[in-house]
Structure 1
């Protein structure tokens, strides 16, 4: 799977480089090619290691996980995500009124320079709010991460069954300020 993600990132960079060089307006003074935008560099060096999605019935909230890897010398911020399978939100676990709750992550996920950021059950994750169809074990779900610099990073994750601590992502557990930890599960 990691090789597939690296290949997709490499193809994206090659495609973007080809686009920049094929346009005569993308040259600097003296006819030399203009440098590629830094957004392309950030997107090409953010990868997702071991991505997976918790299998779930249609319309049942679920989540995607993996390890975000930043190979650049600068922090990268993920501000959003999308998938054809479902509307998405970036979520975190946080203490609120003495209880662990799940809530949207304000400001996005920051992956430090040369660092990693774990998306895991009971921690930060990509929340699939209402999948249109069932996500069965073995299904491949596509995602696109949106970065603060305007670039995007596509990836795919394989669905697998995961019982966790028998928690649930069901909307009935939502309070106005988040979900109690005991009712949150991947």
Structure 2
């Protein structure tokens, strides 16, 4: 199941959370009705129950945005909110704006700040959040296929470690802060 998540007012966020919670609850009931109740013969939770793909249904992306640019590279940002009691790992991201999308981090290496692909994806802690921001972790779009102009809406598909997916849309904004360069000639360590 894919769920489109867009930025909005606090009221819309609360409504989104209620809808997501209701959808997840409905799916849990349906899965339980079709399965063995998630327990093994010993009465312990089965492995399927502890690694359920339902966790991905409760990830919310708050205030998503993309740095507007005419060509080359750009990045997407926002706050990833995990409303479940299990960690959620984002393994990859895709968008039709870029053929190559990577999860990146900014890290100190040999006394210098470098941008590199984040090993193991991005883990959003249980009942917690993870911020994607300029100068920190972000979604990197390389060799963009078309300009991303201020006001454009860019659709993304997140793929989680368990193989499930979720979608969100981010609005493009002009941004010159954090002294970062998403220039194709920039020296990046790809880890």
The TM-score with structure 1 as length reference comes to: 0.77
The match for 1:38 is: 52
Structure 1: which 5+ runs fail to align?
Answer: 30-34, 179-186
Indicate yes or no: 2:34 matched with 1:27: yes
Write the distance in 1 (CA, Å) between the matches of 2:74 and 2:126: 29
The TM-score with structure 2 as length reference comes to: 0.75
Write the distance in 2 (CA, Å) between the matches of 1:43 and 1:165: 30
SS of match in other structure, 2:162: coil
Number of corresponding residues: 163
CA RMSD of aligned residues (A): 2.9
Alpha carbons 2:134, 2:178 under 8 Å: kept: no
59, 65, 69: which one pairs with 2:77?
65
Structure 2: which 5+ runs fail to align?
Answer: 1-6, 37-47
Distance verdict in 2 for CA 1:136–1:72, change over 3 Å: same
Distance verdict in 2 for CA 1:27–1:74, change over 3 Å: closer
95, 98, 115: which one pairs with 2:111?
98
Write the distance in 2 (CA, Å) between the matches of 1:160 and 1:77: 27
Write the distance in 2 (CA, Å) between the matches of 1:154 and 1:6: 14
